[in-house]
Structure 1
Amino acid sequence: MKKTLLQTLFLLTLTALSATAQFCFSPRQPQADQVVSFTYSPQTTPLATDSTLEGRYVRYGAPGMMRISQPTSVTLVRQGKDYVGQVYLPKKDVAGTVLYFRNSTLPKRTDLNKGQFYIIPVSDANGRIVPHATGGQASVFTRTHLPAEAGLKPDQNWVITLLEHELAQNPDLQPQYWYDLLAAKIKQRKPGYGPQVKAAIESYLASRPEPSPTELADAARLYESMGDFAKVNALRERRKSVEPAGALVQKDRAMAIRTEPNWTKKKEAYAAFRKEFPTAAYLPALTIMMTDDYYKQNDIAGLMAFVGQQPDSFVDALMLNTIAFKMADEKRSVPEAEQLTKRALAVLKNQAKPTDVSGDWPTEKQNRHRQLMNTYARTLEQQGKYAEAYTAYQDVLTPDTVNENDPRTIERYFQCALRTNHGNDALPVVEEAVQIDKATKSLKATLQDWYAKQPGNTTAKADAYLADLEADVKADKRDEMQQKLINEPAPAFSLTDLKGRTISTAAMKGKVIVLDFWATWCGPCIASFPAMQQAQTRFKNDPNVRFLFVNTREGGPVQRVYSFMDKHPYDFVVPLDGQQKVANAYKVQGIPTKVVIGPNGRVRYRSIGYNGNPEATVDELALVVEMLKDGK
């Protein structure tokens, strides 16, 4: 009798919380399918001095129905010092509404009713508060975004109080609230909570004749949060025995397929999984993985058969595009690559917006279509179907989209255009590519050669034509490089090279000198040598430019340097800086370091490292040399 009275008094207290001087509503015992009017008086709240107020609310019900709980704004109308508003209580699934108030222009300024929000509980026709009216409030704290939005860290003591009173009033609701109650006690972390919670878990599971997979999963989550992984694993196994075809078994089987190293066994395991679980959520991703594995195993016939058996929903168009492009680029199974690209295009055509695409899908879809058409054109080109390839490339390239394409694509497009007598038609795209620095050297050479052969043209006219196209981008590069140039004294030095010759700055006075500091153990140094050979070759007939490859920081016998140069076909002059005196004098902090000295004997350029792009390295060094020759 005493317990019942206390519970009744608690519920009356909950109702009274919503009838304070700050907040009251009408009708006093609202029912489902009613509009509730409320009055909010902020005079004694944190919003007492604010004038632009709004309410934010969620409706709540049983834990499983909290999908209805998206935070929503409610308009407040000012009446004197108070604000009034209305909320609707739907016919079903709602046990109440939780509100808080905030400054609409400064949303971090809030009134959260001391962390308990404002409550409008639903009553039945007899005036009794409906089930979940109390426990549902706890669900707002544990299962919705409202506390985070309001900047509130839920009070676990209050959450536990709400849940315990809900279960005292409605003990039949324990299956819906037991997990939330124990999870709150774990977060509460009162002394001795661990053994108590574990005992409560076992007691609850023992009370269930046949615990459901969800209950077993919830119990495992509770044990995991307490670090008892032995119990977690035991419950996982128990769950698999209860649900032998369930999600957990499917997940384990899917993982086993992913990690199976034997290709034959992997195919067998996949086939068995697909037969047993034809609607498994893991199946599309497994199928995409298998598609990639067929390619990696170089089983092209198997790949084609496998892809041909799949529904569109199990096909990743971008993966097929990657596979097909590699095959075409390597000129391997190119007809099959063409077929894969066609399938990818068909899949993309009817594809709905993927979950991993956050932006505008029509725009992204168009971008993917162009990627696929580029691959399709490549497959046709590699088979000598130049007319079809040229048409496909036109779907990829326009003068407006040149900047979005790889320079190699533009070069291939022009080659197909020339093979099909469409050079003049392709000219706007190619000229734009040259003008915005998206043209490869070979494309520019091809354009120059083609232009020179046109009626009335000469090699000189072609040279002038290309120079005119490149004028703006070259000017921009020179302006950009001008900002990078330095102006420091160039210390004099005299070193002996591998051939016993004396190499000195005094003997090279008035010349542009390119110094490349390197060592045989330096991987990036060696990787940059092909580019440096190209740069040196560009100026091999210019007596006013010298390249010196200064070996420094070698840290070993000098014979190692001789052996390296003997094994490689570089015609470099290699001065030996065994004591690192020159490297230190030129502020070399790491190798490779490139230093360029101008004709006036001043250091004008210094670059550390190698970016892996030989063409960019050659172009930048050549630009520096040309600028210094011009007196810049």
Structure 2
Amino acid sequence: MKTTNCLFALALTALCFSCKETPKDTGANIGSLYISDATPSPGETLNLAYSTDVNKEDFSAFYYYTVGSSAYPVDLDVTKTDSLYKASIVIPDSATALAFNFKLKKDFDSNNKNGYIIPLTTTSGDTIAGALASIGTYKLRLAPSYGVEVDKKEAFNLMKADLFAHEDLQEKWDGIFPRTFMSEEKAEAEKYITNRIAAYRSKSSLTEKEYRNLNSLYQINGNKEKIDSLQLVMVEKFPKGLIVQQQAWSEFYKEQDYSKKKELFNDFNQKFGNKSRIRNIMATRLASEAIQNGNKEEYTSIMAQVTDKAMLPNAYNSIAWNYAEKGENLEFAAEISKKSLDLVKASINDTKDKPVYNTVSQYKENMVSTYNMYADTYALIKFKQGDIDEAITYQKEAIGKGLDVELNERYIQFLTEGKKYDAILNEASKFIENGNANAKINKYYKEAFVQKNGSEDGFTEKLEALEKVGYDKLVAKTKEEMINKKAKNFTLKNTNGEVVELAALKGKTVILDFWATWCGPCKASFPGMQVAVDKYKDNENVVFLFVDTMESGDYDTRSKLAGDFVKNNNYSFEVIVDNPVEEGSRAYQVASNFEVTGIPTKVIIGPDGNIKFVSVGYSGNSDKLVKELSLKIDLLNS
């Protein structure tokens, strides 16, 4: 018989289990998921059944198993019987908890925002030491991506209770828990960190990992003197350790003279060997400089020394794309671009280099996306070499599902150059009616229409009909994406020192654009955002606020950085400056409140004060950005 212990009971409200004896052969229902054992253990085979009417082509599933503070994703191999998707897994012996994720069409089933998260137990029924700390970490780091609503304090308390109950685990968590502790309960955390430092100091000798943990603890409590002295000790005790390698990388990175840089690389090779990731990064950087100096042979020689083959495709493509855009060294560009394609294609069916943070299917999907991106490079090179048919062949691969307007435009451009008018009429019409076209694609489409029909008669009506289909699809898609989540109030200063409070804007549609001056995609999106700002500048019910966040420095520094950037680029943006959760923290108040983990992120708040839309990233197309943003604003104001 398995029984739950008191520590397990701490997590019951979040995990939907009851604190009572559960026979080993008795399963449990958690939302739409049935598991064959309510309190599973490592090494056990667990049978799953998930109930949904969603078709198999619209369904995918995977799970994470946690080991300490790390989480490893694994695909679920499901079979469908009626409305049940079934799978079996063998729980890894090292696992401490499980978290299942089921994607239905475009969205994850969040189980009423609780998720499908299960702690593992020993064969005697006790919750495994560290299981709840694992769950707390998973919730803070990963769960929000799958629609789970996370109470940060509750997740922290899971970590704290578990690690205080099992002091022998604390060292394994020194890389993550003390910093989280400090952000939640500073006074108590300072005492805890002092005790952890004393525990390391009491040891007769420390490993390099233990020294790094100690260094991290000193960083958290801001003891610069101790950090500096510890760095010297680590360099002396571990002359081939990570700290020394990082120092060598810093020296290499700062060096401007190519010959000296080459000497530093060779020194690194002799001291640390050729397997280090830092060494391989050095090699790709050095090779890039060699080719910039026009030394093809040296570039080829250095690239041949890269032992991490996963680095090669991106390194090749970066150089090839640079030449493709300039129309220079096209023969050499085609050679290395094709190498990048061949390497990526090989990796799609060979997952031995899969990173631990991807499932096999996620890795393959990422590799296909990467292949498409690099095929775009090769196609452009072939186009500039005059090989139109080859350019068309590879650009057709590059467009994938046709979601990237820029890639679509190049495909139609190549078809136009090759006078493939039937293909243009077919392909361009698909892009237009799916909302993935722009003015240039429309122009190429018109040219093909005239070539096939002898005149423009009927073209305007045809284009309007296609665009109407595209608009209707976009409206339907946008309505599906609409949410209704309470927005937390905030009060921040803008770059003029004026106070801006969100609550005072209730009744208006508010667009929050989270950005930073160091963020390339953020800045790339700003010309499009300026168009949107100009479009609604006379509408008093629409307010744009550009939230500068994740920016280094004190308030005055951050405010000046953001203000100067906007002013120097002639943007008419109102910028408000986010504040760290506390001094020195890497977490920022408003970004944290709105669960912003990456930028650019746009949050649109409706007149009722609730969050209606959240979008992350920038597609690279200003027209598409303005069109999608305008539709969301207009829907909320209609």
Which structure carries more relative contact order (alpha carbon 8 Å, separation 6+)? Answer: 2
Q: Indicate the TM-score class for this superposition, using the shorter chain for normalisation.
A: 0.3 to 0.5
Q: Which has the larger radius of gyration?
A: 1
User: Could you tell me the TM-score, scaled by structure 1's length?
Assistant: 0.45
